[in-house]
Amino acid sequence: MTAAIRKVCGIAPDAQLPPNAPLWEMGMDSMRVVELVVLLETELDITLPDEYLVGDTFATVKSTLDVVGRFAN
């Protein structure tokens, strides 16, 4: 799942992704959130419910992984 965040934000595969760092500081914006959602849903064969498609879900690496993990398992 972090690979998808790296890809969407243009972060090198070996760069550190601090769990609580704001994703917007890593280049995330509203268009990239849409791209990330599509990528994660496709790669993990999941559908994120609309109530999770909010800013808090994509605020940090950890918040994103926490929500996506609920539906990927």
Asked whether 63 and 46 are in contact (CB, 8 A), the reply is no
> Is the predicted pLDDT of residue 71 greater than 80, yes or no?
yes
CA 55 → CA 12, 13, 63, 65, distances in Å? Answer: 24, 24, 10, 14
In this prediction, residue 73 carries a pLDDT of 73
In this prediction, residue 11 carries a pLDDT of 94
Q: How far is it, in rounded angstroms, from Cα 19 to Cα 60?
A: 7
> Is the predicted pLDDT of residue 26 greater than 90, yes or no?
yes
Query: What number is the average pLDDT over the span 23-47?
Result: 96
Query: What number is the average pLDDT over the span 7-34?
Result: 94
Asked whether 5 and 61 are in contact (CB, 8 A), the reply is yes
